[in-house]
């Protein structure tokens, strides 16, 4: 079945550092790919998405490119802030299936 493998955390960075969280997937057909962010005690917020190969999703300085050849959707941000501290989830929805498959989540802590 469809699955997502996400870089394990936790990740601790200093402000203005570069952030990368790796995400690879296994799926049949052409899935849609998502990054969600969860702040403490809250639900999930969509950070960005990509629905076809070579699409680049971007939001709030975060970017991720849908790479079909490497089945990856790595999240990057060039200069993190303390407010970026959260848990980040990579997710996939199958082409013929509305269910979302989530990665394990990566906890990111940014120190001032």
The binding site for other proteins (CB under 8 A) comprises 32, 34, 36, 41-46, 49, 51, 89, 93, 98-100, 102-105, 107
- Give 15 or 46: the residue with its C-beta nearer to other proteins: 46
- Give 34 or 62: the residue with its C-beta nearer to other proteins: 34
At residue 48's C-alpha, the angle toward residues 54 and 45, to 5°, is: 160
**Among 25, 45, 21, residue whose Cα is nearest residue 33:** 25
The CA–CA distances, whole Å, from 7 to 25, 95, 98 equal 12, 24, 24
Q: How far is the CB of 99 from other proteins (least distance, A)?
A: 6
Q: How far is the CB of 14 from other proteins (least distance, A)?
A: 23
């Amino acid at each position: 079945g469809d699955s997502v493998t996400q870089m394990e955390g936790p990740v601790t960075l200093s402000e203005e550092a570069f952030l990368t969280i790796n995400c690879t997937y296994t799926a049949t057909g052409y899935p849609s790919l998502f990054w969600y962010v969860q702040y403490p005690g809250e639900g999930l917020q969509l950070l960005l998405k990509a629905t076809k190969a070579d699409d680049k999703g971007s939001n709030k300085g975060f970017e991720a490119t849908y790479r079909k050849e490497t089945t990856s959707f790595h999240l990057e941000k060039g200069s993190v802030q303390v407010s970026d501290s959260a848990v980040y989830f990579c997710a996939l929805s199958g082409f013929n299936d509305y269910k979302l498959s989530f990665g394990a989540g990566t906890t990111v802590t940014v120190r001032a």
